[in-house]
Amino acid sequence: MSLAIYRKYRPKTLTDVLGQESTTEVLKNAAKQDKLSHAYLFYGPRGSGKTTAARILAKIANCETRMNDPKFRESGEPCNHCRPCLEIDEGRALDVIEIDAASNRGIEEIRNLKEGIKLSPASYRRKVFIIDEVHQLTKEAFNALLKTLEEPPEHAIFILATTEYEKLPATIISRTQRFNFRRLSVKTILGKLQTIVKEEKLKISDDALELVAVAAEGSFRDAESLLDQIISLGEAADLESVESLLGKVGFTKTADLAEELIKKDLEKSLKTLSDINEAGYNLVELNHDLIHYLRRVLVLHFNPDMKNVFESELTPDELQTLVRQSKEADPEKLTAMLKSLIRAYSEMRYSPFAIVPLEMAIIENLK
């Protein structure tokens, strides 16, 4: 059975973890000096590289090449060739324990973990405990974990990962080194997807790949999973086939609808919306994308320098379209439209007739 894309192209070194350069640089410097902490907290959105970085850190802590070769240790990376590195990559390392706190959130599981911590590593230098979605632990489990973090054995390293930092007790946070994993830009995700497509010799158009990068919403893992879906089509993928598969419209359709709204063309905008609905696309997603699109137009109208920020999210041609529309837009009308679309979005999510709130928002603002 072939490996899933996200597993095959999972980063194996800190340098390979894209979009988190400030975090990986600090971790590499700590590794170079052999000063790894006993407890880390990685927090940020899903698919941003938290668990991947945790596994790389586990390899660094146990890499035999690093232990035996001082010159190699100065790289701050694992060798990915020694026994511990290979076993950790393959998910069969006895001394690297991964716990999903969403499924093992009670005090009994943490008590078992505390007992396991007391035991020396079976065959490695350090025992690494990776607790994913740590915010899911119960209050009692947090209290039990706190005592372990206060007085950890010399051989233990804890790496806590969460998507909801604000739910963690301050007592836990204060006993860890904290690293914020940022949401990844469309440009960064698209770059990696293009590399994968080239390596795999796939036939996928650039605009189709861009739609995948946008649909991933900042998550490498989601983007690679979507790419796996597209590969299963078994043929060259263009924008239309990817739109159909994802139920999501690409930039061009969103830009066309936005253009009609900015020009206050009620007839054309309702026809475009009807065509998109008839084609079976997800209208809630369409409104979501439209809100973000018009928000950029409005921001650019008041601050043209913001195009430097949007460069990481859009292609040059797309940005040029946005800049042009920002000059043509009526800011008062566009502000009112955005407020209506936001209200319609909340109504659409629970309505059996998703098109109605969106149509009403358009009619109210363009009639």
Convert the pLDDT of each residue in 192-239 to its tens digit: 999 988 888 888 888 888 888 888 888 888 888 888 888 877 666 788
Taking the CA atoms of 204, 206, 209 and 215 in sequence, report the sign of the dihedral they define: negative
- What is residue 325's predicted lDDT score, i.e. its pLDDT? 95
Q: What is the mean pLDDT of residues 273-296?
A: 92
**Token reading at 155:** 């051989």
Give mean pLDDT, residues 325-339.
94
Confidence band for 116, pLDDT divided at 50, 70 and 90: confident
pLDDT band at 247 (very low <50, low <70, confident <90, very high): confident
Contact of 52 with 42, CB cutoff 8 Å: no
Tens digit of each residue's pLDDT (9 = 90 or more) over 58-92: 999 999 999 999 999 999 999 999 999 999 999 88
Q: The whole model's pTM is what?
A: 0.81
Amino acid identity, position 294? L
Measured CA to CA in angstroms, residue 26 lies from 15, 40, 45, 161 at distances of 12, 12, 20, 17
- For residues 180 and 95, give the distance between their C-alpha atoms in angstroms, rounded to a whole number: 26
Candidates 304, 307, 306, 294; CA nearest to 340 is: 294
Q: Is the pLDDT of residue 3 over 90?
A: no
* Averaged pLDDT score across all residues of the chain: 89
Look at residue 272 in the predicted model and tell me its pLDDT.
94
Strand partners, 160: 41, 131
Give the Cα separation of 61 and 55 in Å (integer): 10
pLDDT of 121 higher than 90? no
Q: Rounded CA gap, 49 and 102, in Å? A: 18
Return the number of other C-beta atoms located less than 10 Å from residue 199's C-beta: 10
The reported pLDDT for the residue numbered 235 is 66
Looking at residue 256, what is its pLDDT? 93
For the four alpha carbons of 50, 102, 38 and 92, in that order, the dihedral sign comes to negative
Tens of pLDDT along 25-50? 999 999 999 899 999 999 999 889 99
Does residue 2 register a pLDDT over 70? no
Mean pLDDT, rounded, for 117-135: 88
Q: List the domains of the chain with CATH numbers.
A: 5-180 (3.40.50.300), 186-246 (1.10.8.60), 251-366 (1.20.272.10)
Tens digit of each residue's pLDDT (9 = 90 or more) over 348-362:
988 888 899 999 999
Read off the pLDDT of residues 155-183 as tens digits, 9 standing for 90 and up.
999 999 999 999 999 999 999 999 999 98
Q: What is the pLDDT of residue 234?
A: 65
Is the predicted pLDDT of residue 5 greater than 80, yes or no? no
Confidence band, pLDDT 50/70/90 cuts, at residue 1: very low
Question: How does pLDDT run across 135-160, given as a tens digit for each residue?
Answer: 988 888 888 888 888 888 889 999 99
DSSP 189-204: HHHHHHHHHHHHT--B
